[in-house]
Amino acid sequence: MDSSVSVIYIESNRMSKRKKTVIDILRDSPGFVSGEAMSAQLGISRNAVHKHVKSLRGRGYRILGVSRRGYKLEEEPCRLSMGFITDRTEKSAFGRSFRYYDEIESTNAEAKALANCGAPEGTVVIAEAQSAGRGRLGRRWTSPAGKGLLFSVLLRPRLPMNDAHMLTIVAAAAAAEAIEAIAGIPVHIKWPNDLFIGDRKAGGILMEVSGEQDEVEWVVVGIGINVNTEYSELPVALRRTATSLKMVKGEPVDRSELLATLLLSLETHYKDAVANGFERALASFRNRDYLLHKSISVETREGPISGSASGVDDRGALLVELPHRQVRRFHSGDVTLHP
Ligand code: BTN
């Protein structure tokens, strides 16, 4: 690894010593360990052992529990290979400073805090799990530990504030291209920020900005992708509408390779956009426009407005053809498809 690259690994301080001991006991036993033996070894009740096991499962540890036999550690959560990622990104500006958390509230919140403390452009915050992952329009983003990609990149572009939203288009194009290159699956983008495979959402982008009218101070681009998530790990409410790369491909996808490729793709698109404008990112977006020619409704303050999606304009606004052929532009809003 290049000596100018910094990777800070941050272990969750919410992982108590006792949980670590629970893992150590399970790791040291090839077979089952009874709840009773664990409670004696740890000096806690069997109920408390059960609670620790439950919380470890939430962190991606696969622990089998069989009555009268006890617990068995079947699988530990996967971790990204930071060595591989930094080797692949060593010549790029986005590969200089990484903060890699095993658990954090939200990588976007952390990247924003770093931005306000003067962290440089290209700082990348990655987490294996988020306890309060954020989505667009105040929604939550949930992902089982070690199965997805959850990361945020800090940018300091020299752009006027009214161009900042175009970086969502840039990030969506970069993410779609990287997924296609690594997983070999065609990706569509549902305006403005959803990554779709077939008719299901596999990822999303949350961009947050700070600055004055004339110039952006910083932008945080947060990307969440369901990579190796199983159907049973999706929140019940999303099982009809969400998917993962593994669910579509039928085999796991290398998350480290995907992250490295995505960072390189994001940097290429970003530099091109800041230097030459948004044409290239828009072209990539338009090639993957999920909504094009579909019958949709856009939620607005005046209520839902329905029509046929007819692409995005050069400012990244959604174009909708209304029943009398009049075309309306939307700069923001939630889109639903008509059945
Ligand atoms: C959406 O589809 O509404 C956007 C989802 C964005 C989720 C990512 S996960 C990494 C980053 N940190 C967050 O808290 N959110 C974004």
Residues 203 and 166 in one domain: yes
Residues 253 and 147 in one domain: yes
Residues 156 and 112 in one domain: yes
Number of domains in the chain: 3
Mean pLDDT over 223-233 rounds to 96
Distance from the CA of 34 to the center of ligand 1, in angstroms? 39
9, exposed or middle or buried, with CB in 10 Å at 0-12, 13-18, 19+?
A: exposed
Residues 93 and 71 in one domain: no
Pick from 292, 298, 333, 123: which is nearest to 222 by CA? 123
Residues 274 and 167 in one domain: yes
Domain-terminating residue out of 45, 75, 105: 75
| Nearest ligand 1 atom, CA 111 | 12
Tens of pLDDT, residue by residue over 92-102, are: 988 789 999 98
Residues 193 and 96 in one domain: yes
Instruction: Flag whether 68 is in a domain.
Output: yes
| Nearest ligand 1 atom, CA 130 | 14
Q: Is 222 in the pocket of ligand 1 (CB under 6 A)?
A: yes
Residues 130 and 191 in one domain: yes
Domain-terminating residue out of 266, 287, 308: 287
Instruction: Flag whether 86 is in a domain.
Output: yes
Instruction: Flag whether 97 is in a domain.
Output: yes
Q: Is 143 in the pocket of ligand 1 (CB under 6 A)?
A: no
In this structure, what token pair is assigned to residue 268? 């290429």
| Nearest ligand 1 atom, CA 108 | 12
Instruction: Flag whether 238 is in a domain.
Output: yes
Domain CATH for 304: 2.30.30.100
Residues 66 and 96 in one domain: no
Mean pLDDT over 205-213 rounds to 94
Residues 236 and 213 in one domain: yes
Instruction: Flag whether 182 is in a domain.
Output: yes
* Mean pLDDT for the chain overall: 94
| Nearest ligand 1 atom, CA 132 | 14
Q: What's residue 104's pLDDT?
A: 95
Residues 88 and 113 in one domain: yes
Q: What's residue 264's pLDDT?
A: 98
Domain CATH for 115: 3.30.930.10
Tens of pLDDT, residue by residue over 230-287, are: 999 999 999 999 999 999 999 999 999 999 999 999 999 999 999 999 999 999 999 9
Residues 333 and 280 in one domain: no
Mean pLDDT over 154-179 rounds to 97
Q: Above 80 in pLDDT, residue 298?
A: yes
Q: What's residue 61's pLDDT?
A: 87
In this structure, what token pair is assigned to residue 319? 């174009």
Residues 25 and 93 in one domain: no
Contact between residue 78 and residue 147 where contact means Cβ atoms under 8 Å apart: yes
Domain that includes residue 321, residue range: 295-337
Q: At what angle do helices 46-58 and 17-28 cross, to 10 degrees?
A: 90
Tens of pLDDT, residue by residue over 5-55, are: 889 988 765 567 777 789 999 999 989 999 999 999 999 999 999 999 998
Q: What's residue 55's pLDDT?
A: 85
Instruction: Flag whether 148 is in a domain.
Output: yes
Percentage above 90 pLDDT, the chain:
84
Instruction: Flag whether 4 is in a domain.
Output: no
Tell whether omega for the bond before 144 is within 30 degrees of 0, i.e. cis: no
Q: Is 134 in the pocket of ligand 1 (CB under 6 A)?
A: yes
Start-end of H helices in 104-162: 107-116
Q: Is 196 in the pocket of ligand 1 (CB under 6 A)?
A: no
Instruction: Flag whether 42 is in a domain.
Output: yes
Domain CATH for 36: 1.10.10.10
Q: What's residue 58's pLDDT?
A: 78
In this structure, what token pair is assigned to residue 3? 């000596």
